[in-house]
């Protein structure tokens, strides 16, 4: 039976921990097993990409498979073909499909009518592949999932939503700070009210206090208009040396990239000794390898 990865909570606690472990094992493996030999991954991207596209293409290559990249404008979706019909057809050609688009409902429809695994490469609502990578990175940094205080500061966007899902699924201690008017998805905010291990606040200093992991993202997601008013609202939420001092002295800093240096994060922090931003970016490859191996490989089992 096929399995999709549209949300973090599509996987159980056991599955997430196995994927994290497998990604770190693959990172140490000089010659990965060619478990995807003869398999083909399709990639439909309506949004620009560096890390997501390249990591998936290289992951398929390293596992013995092949990837086909399609900009959305080069498919019949751009002329009105439904995601349902697209899913029905592409399921007959491909072994899995990564989609990077705007509306979450589009990828949900695609998954409903596809017989192959559908992977969410990013929507406006969720970014599960990135948050799975972030979990890999913090475990690599010897931050145990069970007793690590994670802090997310910035826009209440797809990253925030996927972090909330990760915290709900894994029982993570998560503090979130967003400016007023830029909160995460309202349904998720309602859910976290029942969980004392997840804090939402409009105060970045409250959120970052004694945190072990600090995460942020750009203030303007793809497709959003640049607004000076929004920039002013977000200035107190910048990850800089002053704010970082309030975290745990051994805290690590993450950013999913691309970074707008001088806005959501300063050069001193992103290039500083506590930054794992570029190791985090490197881990996209090994996380995608583990994910593809699990979803597309002949045996959905990892030791």
- Select from 283, 287, 291 the least CA-distant residue to 36: 291
How many residues would you count in the chain? 303
Question: What is the per-residue burial (b if ≥16 Cβ within 10 Å, else e) of 7-38?
Answer: bbbbbeeebbebbbebbbebbeeeebeebbee
- Select from 260, 64, 80, 53 the least CA-distant residue to 154: 260
Place of tokens 């240096």: 261
Q: Is 151 a catalytic residue?
A: no
DSSP string, 242-262: HHHTTS-TT-EEEE-S---BT
Give dist(CA 223, CA 296) in Å, integer: 31
Q: Is 126 a catalytic residue?
A: no
Strands 213-216 and 118-122: unpaired
Q: Is 256 a catalytic residue?
A: yes
Given the residues 7, 22, 51, 100, select the one marked as catalytic: 100
- Three-class secondary structure of residue 284 per DSSP: helix
Given the residues 238, 280, 284, 288, select the one marked as catalytic: 284
Given the residues 95, 155, 212, 217, select the one marked as catalytic: 217
Given the residues 129, 151, 178, 256, select the one marked as catalytic: 256
Given the residues 127, 129, 134, 185, select the one marked as catalytic: 127
Given the residues 130, 238, 280, 288, select the one marked as catalytic: 130
Cβ atoms of residues 251 and 242 within 8 Å: no
Half-sphere exposure of 149 (CA within 13 A, CB side): 16
Q: Is 88 a catalytic residue?
A: no
Q: Is 130 a catalytic residue?
A: yes
Mind telling me the catalytic residues? 100, 127, 130, 217, 256, 284
């Amino acid at each position: 039976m096929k399995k999709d990865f549209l949300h973090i909570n599509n996987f159980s606690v056991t599955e997430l921990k196995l994927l994290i472990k497998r990604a770190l094992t693959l990172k140490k493996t000089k010659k990965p097993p060619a478990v995807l030999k003869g398999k083909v991954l399709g990639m439909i991207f309506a949004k620009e990409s560096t890390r997501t596209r390249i990591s998936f293409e290289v992951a398929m290559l390293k596992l013995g498979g092949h990837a086909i990249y399609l900009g959305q404008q080069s498919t019949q979706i751009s002329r009105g073909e439904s995601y349902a019909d697209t899913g029905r057809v592409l399921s007959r050609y491909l072994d899995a499909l990564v989609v990077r688009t705007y509306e979450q409902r589009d990828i949900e429809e695609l998954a409903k009518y596809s017989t192959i695994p559908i992977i969410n490469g990013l929507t406006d609502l969720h970014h599960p592949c990135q948050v799975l990578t972030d979990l890999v990175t913090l475990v690599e940094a010897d931050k145990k999932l069970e007793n690590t205080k994670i802090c997310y500061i910035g826009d209440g966007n797809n990253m925030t939503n996927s972090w909330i899902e990760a915290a709900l699924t894994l029982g993570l201690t998560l503090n979130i700070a967003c400016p007023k008017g830029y909160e995460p998805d309202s349904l998720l905010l309602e859910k976290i009210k029942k969980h004392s291990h997840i804090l939402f606040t409009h105060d970045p200093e409250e959120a970052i206090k004694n945190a072990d992991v600090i995460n942020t993202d750009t203030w303007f997601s793809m497709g959003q208009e640049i607004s000076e008013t929004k920039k002013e609202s977000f200035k107190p939420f910048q990850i800089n040396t002053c704010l970082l001092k309030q975290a745990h002295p051994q805290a690590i800093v993450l950013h999913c990239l691309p970074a707008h240096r001088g806005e959501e994060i300063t050069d001193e922090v992103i290039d500083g000794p506590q930054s794992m931003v570029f190791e985090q970016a490197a881990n996209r490859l090994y996380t995608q390898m583990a994910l593809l191996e699990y979803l597309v490989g002949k045996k959905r089992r990892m030791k």
